[in-house]
C-alpha cells in the first residue's frame, strides 16, 4: 500500500475553544481534509468548576459535569453544522466529502487529544493561532505549545483570519539534519496532492565551507530517497536564525511553513525560547510543526 492510500484511512483532529480563531482554523482544516481525503474529528476539552486551582481565584459559574457536557456538545454540533454546510458547497469542486464527528470530554486538552490519537489514526492536528491581546491567548496559546510538545503527529497552526487558498508553495525550514529527510519525504507526498513547489530553506551563520559540505550530503540524500520533481533548495545566510525564519514567514510568499520542534535541556528551555515558539507568536502564514519525537504520520 503506498502513502497516498494510507492517508485516505486517516483523520484530522481539530481541537477548538469555539473562539473566532479556532473556528477559522476548523474551516481551513475542512479544505485540507477535502484535498487530502481525510475525515475530521472536532474535539473540546473542558474542566468542571472546582477541578482546577484557578477555580478558587476566578469568579466562574459553578457548572457541574452534565451542564458542561450538554453545552459543549451543543457548541460542537453548531460547528459541525457550519463545516457540513461549507462542505456541501464544495462538493461541486471536490468529490470527497469528509465525515465529521464530535468529541467532548472532561480533562486537559493534551489528555483528551492523546486519547483520541490512541483510538484513531490521527494524521494531523489543526489549531487556531492566538490574536495578541485576546483573553483566549492564555488558553489557546498555552494549549498549542503543549500539543506540539506531546503530539505524535504534526500540528498545524493557522493564523487568525487567515483564509484558505490552494497551497502552491511550501517551505521546510531545516538545519540539514539527516533525520529531516524522513519529514521531507512526508511533505513531498503532501505537496504532490497540491502539485505544490516544496522549497527546502536552510538558514546558516557558520563558515561557507562547512555550509557547502552539509548541503552536499543532505541534497544527495534527498535526490536518492525522494522522488518528487518540484523540490527546490534555498540557503539564507543570517547571523540570527529567528530573523531568517521571520523573513520566510513574512516575505517569502509561501502558503505554508514547516518546522521541526526539538526538545532541549531544562536550562536552555527556561532562558532561551525555541525558534518554533517564537514563530507561533508571530504567524503570517500557517505553520506546520513536527515534533522531533513524532512518528511523522501525516501520511
Residues 111 and 15 in one domain: yes
Does position 102 have pLDDT exceeding 80, yes or no? Answer: yes
Q: Assign residue 37 the CATH number of its domain.
A: 3.40.50.620
**Average pLDDT of span 213-242:** 85
Strand 169-173, strand 256-261: pairing: parallel
DSSP letters of 119-137?
HS-EEEEEEEPPPTT-THH
Residues 28 and 140 in one domain: yes
Residues 136 and 111 in one domain: yes
The DSSP secondary-structure symbol of 41 reads: E
**Average pLDDT of span 184-205:** 90
Residues 11 and 154 in one domain: yes
Asked if residue 264 belongs to a domain, the reply is: no
- What is the band of 6 on the pLDDT scale with cuts at 50, 70, 90? very low
Asked if residue 75 belongs to a domain, the reply is: yes
Does position 152 have pLDDT exceeding 90, yes or no? Answer: no
What's the rounded Cα separation, in Å, for the pair 77 and 69? 12
Residue 170 CA, distance from chain mean position: 14
What's the rounded Cα separation, in Å, for the pair 43 and 88? 21
**Average pLDDT of span 159-164:** 89
Q: Tell me the average pLDDT of the chain.
A: 79
Structurally, the chain folds into a number of domains equal to 2
Q: Give the model's pLDDT for residue 91.
A: 64
3-class secondary structure, 221: helix
Residues 146 and 185 in one domain: no
Note the pTM of the prediction, 2 decimals: 0.82
Asked if residue 288 belongs to a domain, the reply is: no
Asked if residue 149 belongs to a domain, the reply is: yes
Q: Which domain holds residue 69?
A: 3-158
Does position 199 have pLDDT exceeding 70, yes or no? Answer: yes
Provide the H-helix boundaries in the chain. 3-7, 20-36, 65-90, 109-119, 136-150, 180-194, 208-225, 241-251, 266-271, 275-280
**Average pLDDT of span 262-285:** 53
Which of the listed ranges 51-55, 63-67, 187-191, 203-207 does the model predict with the highest average pLDDT? 187-191
The torsion angle over the Cα atoms of residues 266, 270, 273 and 277, rounded to 10 degrees, is 80
Asked if residue 106 belongs to a domain, the reply is: yes
The DSSP secondary-structure symbol of 15 reads: E
Asked if residue 55 belongs to a domain, the reply is: yes
Does position 140 have pLDDT exceeding 80, yes or no? Answer: no
Which of 80-94, 166-180, 205-219, 277-291 shows the lowest mean pLDDT across its residues?
277-291
Residues 275 and 222 in one domain: yes
From the list 191, 180, 190, the residue with the least C-alpha distance to 291 is 180
Residues 178 and 88 in one domain: no
Asked if residue 152 belongs to a domain, the reply is: yes
Contact by Cβ (8 Å): 244, 238:
yes
For residues 42 and 143, the model is more confident at 42
Residues 84 and 43 in one domain: yes
Residues 145 and 26 in one domain: yes
Which of 175-179, 189-193, 196-200 shows the lowest mean pLDDT across its residues?
175-179
Q: Give the model's pLDDT for residue 211.
A: 74
Residues 120 and 16 in one domain: yes
Residues 28 and 135 in one domain: yes
Residues 146 and 20 in one domain: yes
Contact by Cβ (8 Å): 128, 24:
yes
Amino acid at each position: 500500500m503506498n502513502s497516498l492510500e494510507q492517508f485516505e484511512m486517516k483523520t484530522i483532529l481539530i481541537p477548538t475553544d469555539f473562539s473566532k480563531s479556532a473556528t477559522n482554523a476548523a474551516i481551513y482544516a475542512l479544505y485540507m481534509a477535502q484535498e487530502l481525503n481525510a475525515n475530521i474529528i472536532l474535539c473540546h476539552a473542558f474542566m468542571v468548576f472546582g477541578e482546577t486551582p484557578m477555580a478558587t481565584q476566578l469568579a466562574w459559574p459553578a457548572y457541574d459535569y452534565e451542564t458542561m457536557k450538554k453545552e459543549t456538545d451543543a457548541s460542537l454540533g453548531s460547528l459541525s453544522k457550519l463545516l457540513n454546510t461549507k462542505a456541501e458547497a464544495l462538493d461541486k469542486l471536490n468529490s470527497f466529502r469528509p465525515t465529521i464527528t464530535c468529541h467532548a470530554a472532561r480533562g486537559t486538552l493534551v489528555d483528551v487529544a492523546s486519547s483520541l490519537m490512541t483510538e484513531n489514526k490521527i494524521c494531523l492536528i489543526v489549531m487556531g493561532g492566538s490574536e495578541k491581546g485576546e483573553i483566549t491567548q492564555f488558553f489557546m496559546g498555552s494549549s498549542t505549545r503543549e500539543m506540539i510538545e506531546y503530539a505524535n503527529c504534526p500540528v498545524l497552526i493557522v493564523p487568525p483570519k487567515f483564509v484558505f487558498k490552494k497551497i502552491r508553495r511550501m517551505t521546510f525550514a531545516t538545519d540539514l539534519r539527516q533525520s529531516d529527510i524522513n519529514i521531507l519525504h512526508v511533505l513531498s507526498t503532501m505537496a504532490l496532492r497540491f502539485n505544490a513547489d516544496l522549497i527546502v530553506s536552510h538558514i546558516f551563520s557558520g563558515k561557507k565551507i562547512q555550509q557547502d559540505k552539509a548541503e552536499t550530503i543532505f541534497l544527495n540524500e534527498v535526490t536518492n530517497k525522494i522522488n518528487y520533481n518540484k523540490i527546490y533548495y534555498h540557503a539564507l545566510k543570517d547571523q540570527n536564525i529567528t530573523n531568517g525564519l521571520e523573513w520566510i514567514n513574512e516575505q517569502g510568499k509561501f502558503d505554508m511553513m514547516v518546522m521541526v520542534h526539538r526538545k532541549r535541556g531544562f536550562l536552555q528551555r527556561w532562558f532561551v525560547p525555541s525558534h518554533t515558539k517564537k514563530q507561533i507568536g508571530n504567524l503570517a502564514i500557517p505553520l506546520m510543526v513536527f515534533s522531533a519525537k513524532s512518528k511523522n504520520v501525516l501520511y
